[in-house]
Amino acid sequence: MLIGGAWVESTSGASQDIQDPSDETLLASVPLANREDARAAIDAARDAFDTGPWPRTPPGKRGQVLVRLAELLQAETDRLAELEARNAGKPIRQASIADLPMAIEHTGHFGRLASKLVDEELELPDVGITTRVLREPIGVCAGIIPWNFPLLMAVWKVAPALAAGNTMVLKPATYTPLTALEYARLAEKAGLPPGALNVITGSGHEVGEELAAHPSVDKIAFTGSTKIGRAVMRNASDTLKRVTLELGGKAPMVILPNADQDEALRGALFGAFLHQGQVCLAGTRLLLPSAMRESFLRRLRQRAESLHLGPTLSWETDMGPLISASQRDRVEAYVAQGVEEGAALVHGGRRPPGLPKGYYLEPTIFDDVTPEMTIAREEIFGPVLSVMTYETCAEAVEMANATEYGLAASVWSRDLKEAQAVARDIRAGTVWVNQHHILSCAAPHGGYKQSGVGRELGIWGLYEYTEVKHLFLDESGEAMKDAFGLVQPD
């Protein structure tokens, strides 16, 4: 682990095994941090913030370190893609085409955005002078992240926090610490001063709780489940920390009657089964016009059949394993519940024959799902798609919004005017038209309703790591002239 510029073991000497979920082999062993280690990391970040050079480095110079970090990632991209694939159970094609390029791009983007954090002149028309607004770092930020995009989620916390001049303690997910540790190693190499970034590996219940509650932490940025997000917010409330939360989702894919069916079909597969459905943005509710149901479903099953499940390091593989045995158990319990509640299991739902090792599960499609069913309401975080039908457009919108989540949605139609009208009526942080899953480093990402608080990415994401200071400096010397009538001029 990296604490205060030193690579250390846990103080207790405990360690944890890191597995490859595609074949259950041991990949690495990392320290298992406890509360004492967490406090040491927080102290190091506190020290680096209060007395170290990083917060006092001009934004443009900080940005250069991040741009250099992006270049270092680029230089090791193949090795890191392989490590990510092996640790997260992510098909190598996706790690190479998506995770690594995005991690590099987003790191560089926040580096370039740092130069936007300059003082702004502010005209005060009522007072008649011009003052300044400063964007200052918040202080010590803690980042807690999930296992589905281990490197990218680390980037989304670390890069904006550092760009804005904060210091950070990052806790990767227990299963997937490896690429986050590599990111920290490269950040050091890029010139980040000691203590500006600390990475501790350990459990959520111990280390995560300590980070959320500790009074020396000024902001907590959490990505994970809505349930744990609530606990983080509660733990952070005693000290009124700044909190941003990126939580669960149950994204609808609304196929409108005149959608291009080939496109919508590809979108549905991509939306539901990318990374085995272990994506917060996953399109897990497919809303079809009832007249389209039979033909669409027939083709969807055929296409799902042809998805290739296999080892993560094979370039032929479309879908890898789930992250762990317990995650697969959880998903299988949802499949059983879907059947029990009367949905029609029309594809998958089994462990694929021929892959005895690893936590594989077939892409799974339920038809005849109604909005009250558990599989239509809860986030499953596995390859399970619920198909529902609607009669009118208004009904489709109502179904799309019938969820406590509001992270994302997609709308599919050749009529862009109609698609836009539906997109505007859906209560979600991102709505794609004829697209799903695509993210940009420049666009805000985050949730309505119980999908989160705040935004990541773009200038919105960067501002979440700043405090706003009004520096009232009256260069004209006019300001004290009336003192609200309380003190008469001499």
What is the x/- site pattern for ligand NAD, positions 196-215, by CB under 6 A?
--------xx--xx--x---
Do 151 and 80 meet the contact criterion of CB atoms below 8 Å apart? Answer: yes
Name the segment binding ligand NAD (CB under 6 A); options: 22-30, 66-74, 143-151, 182-190: 143-151
Residues of this chain, 152-181, that bind ligand NAD according to CB under 6 A = 171, 173-174
Do 290 and 325 meet the contact criterion of CB atoms below 8 Å apart? Answer: no
Query: What DSSP designation does 54 have?
Result: G
- Cβ closer to ligand NAD: 224 or 321? 224
Which one of residues 98, 280, 361, 457 is an interface residue with ligand NAD (CB under 6 A)? 280
209, 210, 246, 456: which is the annotated catalytic residue? 246
Q: Is 407 in the site for ligand NAD (CB under 6 A)?
A: yes
Residues of this chain, 303-342, that bind ligand NAD according to CB under 6 A = none
Question: Strand pairing of 25-31 and 15-20?
Answer: antiparallel
- Cβ closer to ligand NAD: 65 or 170? 170
CA 34 – CA 11 distance, rounded (Å): 8
Name the segment binding ligand NAD (CB under 6 A); options: 10-18, 73-81, 223-231, 291-299: 223-231
Where do we find the tokens 């680096």? 48
Residue 434 to residues 268, 271, 310, 362, 392: CA-CA distances in angstroms? 10, 11, 29, 26, 19
280, 332, 379, 464: which is the annotated catalytic residue? 280
**Distance separating the N- and C-terminal Cα atoms of the chain:** 63
Do 174 and 202 meet the contact criterion of CB atoms below 8 Å apart? Answer: yes
Question: Strand pairing of 408-412 and 251-255?
Answer: parallel
**Minimum distance of ligand NAD from residue 448's CB (angstroms):** 11
Q: Is 358 in the site for ligand NAD (CB under 6 A)?
A: no
Which one of residues 89, 146, 150, 267 is an interface residue with ligand NAD (CB under 6 A)? 146
Do 59 and 45 meet the contact criterion of CB atoms below 8 Å apart? Answer: no
441 catalytic residue (yes or no):
no
DSSP SS3 for 244 = strand
Residues of this chain, 363-382, that bind ligand NAD according to CB under 6 A = 379, 381
**Minimum distance of ligand NAD from residue 33's CB (angstroms):** 11
Residues ≥6 apart with Cβ < 8 Å to 409: 251, 252, 253, 254, 400, 423, 426, 428, 430, 431, 432
Residues of this chain, 51-90, that bind ligand NAD according to CB under 6 A = none
Which one of residues 74, 115, 216, 225 is an interface residue with ligand NAD (CB under 6 A)? 225
Q: Is 276 in the site for ligand NAD (CB under 6 A)?
A: no
CA 109 – CA 116 distance, rounded (Å): 12
Which one of residues 52, 195, 224, 252 is an interface residue with ligand NAD (CB under 6 A)? 224
Residues annotated as part of the active site: 246, 280
Where does this chain bind ligand NAD (CB under 6 A)? 144-148, 171, 173-174, 204-205, 208-209, 212, 223-225, 228, 231-232, 246-249, 280, 379, 381, 407, 447, 452
